């Protein structure tokens, strides 16, 4: 991996004194996961047996959707403080779980037939309140295929974000609003025309939102939206947004988390393992580490997403520029 982004800081002394980078880390090699995948499969071909859908995905998603919509209905006459409290300490975990279920479904890991995954993703989207399942898949698959590629990987912050978010206060606000940045970044940088499935996702979601307001009132709908918003901001589960690819070690591009919240997040914390094997469902990613542990033991990892958020905010050398970027390679162009 290259470290070109760091070379653009005015001096090494500034970096040691805690000055934030003024450009991204630039790598002049392809992303590391494809080559490691080949190495691991060559040595451990039995890992291929882990490929395929999670047969319990439909049941798990249905339970969470039912629980969250039922909670919204129960809160229809509740006070705003109660709604906000339950949204942060309960609903946020459910909606973030569904967001990561949609991530799982974007890789077709509930059914072997892709269209069934798409319908289940639209269903999982319902308590989130904002139609995003179909559009998320479009951009997320590019994040895997073109990890860090300038102008293609919309997971990487923009230069505008990086130039605005330059201190502790700005980083705190950025963390609170990071879902908005994820949602708006593709619209401004790489908009894609909506297709048939986006319209299906949109009309079903709006139908559900309107139904909630009509039958239960605005407070029930506000509970769902608040659960999404607070769960994607200053929240333990939202730490995975930062932990996955923000560079705290210039020699490492992707980071895994091996903590208890994997139980609620479809094991997205096994992020090196996931990028190495996106066809393996979350409930089996731990087996990749068990089988091919030597490929992961030397990598830095985390045990607390809350600590990652704290580190990101308080470390003066870390910010939106703390991401690895690369130019589109000849190999990627030919794929």
- The pLDDT of residue 324 is 95
Mean of all residue pLDDT scores within the chain? 92
Mean pLDDT, range 14-28, rounded to an integer: 73
The rounded percent of the chain whose pLDDT value lies above 70 is: 93
Closest CA to 50 of 325, 295, 277, 311: 277
- The pLDDT of residue 18 is 57
Q: Is the dihedral of CA 85, 282, 177, 217 positive or negative?
A: negative
Are the CB atoms for 275 and 103 separated by under 8 Å?
A: no
Q: Report which of residues 250 and 39 the model is more confident about.
A: 39
Tokens of 210: 């309107």
Mean pLDDT, range 310-326, rounded to an integer: 95
Whether the full predicted model's pTM is greater than 0.85, yes or no, is yes
Q: Report which of residues 335 and 15 the model is more confident about.
A: 335
Mean pLDDT, range 166-178, rounded to an integer: 96
Residues in the chain, total: 335
Q: What is the pLDDT of residues 117-140, one digit of tens each?
A: 999 999 999 999 999 999 999 999
Q: What is the pLDDT of residues 209-244, one digit of tens each?
A: 999 999 999 999 999 999 999 999 999 999 999 999
């Amino acid at each position: 991996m290259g470290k070109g982004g760091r070379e653009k800081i005015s001096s090494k002394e500034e970096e040691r004194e805690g000055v934030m980078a003024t450009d991204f880390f630039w790598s002049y090699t392809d992303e590391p996961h494809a080559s490691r995948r080949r190495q691991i499969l060559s040595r451990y071909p039995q890992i291929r047996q882990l490929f395929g859908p999670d047969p319990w995905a439909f049941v798990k998603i249905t339970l969470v959707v039912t629980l969250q919509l039922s909670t919204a209905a129960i809160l229809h006459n509740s006070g705003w403080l109660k709604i906000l409290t339950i949204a942060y300490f309960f609903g946020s975990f459910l909606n973030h779980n569904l967001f990561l279920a949609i991530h799982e479904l974007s890789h077709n890991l509930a059914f072997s037939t892709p269209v069934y995954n798409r319908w289940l993703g639209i269903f999982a989207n319902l308590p989130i309140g904002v139609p995003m399942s179909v559009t998320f898949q479009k951009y997320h698959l590019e994040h895997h295929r073109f990890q860090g590629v300038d102008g293609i990987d919309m997971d990487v912050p923009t230069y505008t974000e990086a130039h605005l978010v330059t201190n502790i206060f700005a980083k705190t606000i950025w963390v609170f609003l990071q879902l908005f940045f994820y949602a708006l970044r593709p619209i401004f940088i790489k908009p894609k025309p909506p297709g048939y499935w986006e319209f299906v996702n949109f009309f079903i979601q709006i139908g559900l939102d309107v139904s909630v307001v009509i039958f239960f009132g605005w407070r029930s709908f506000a509970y769902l939206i608040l659960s999404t918003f607070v769960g994607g901001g200053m929240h333990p589960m939202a730490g995975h947004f930062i932990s996955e690819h923000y560079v705290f070690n210039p020699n490492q591009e992707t980071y895994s988390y091996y903590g208890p919240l994997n139980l609620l997040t479809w094991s997205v914390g096994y992020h090196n393992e996931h990028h190495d094997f996106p066809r393996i469902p979350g409930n089996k990613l731990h087996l990749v580490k068990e089988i091919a542990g030597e490929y992961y033991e030397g990598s830095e990892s985390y045990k607390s997403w809350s600590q990652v958020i704290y580190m990101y905010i308080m470390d003066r050398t870390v910010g939106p520029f703390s991401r690895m970027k690369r130019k589109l390679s000849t190999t990627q162009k030919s794929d």
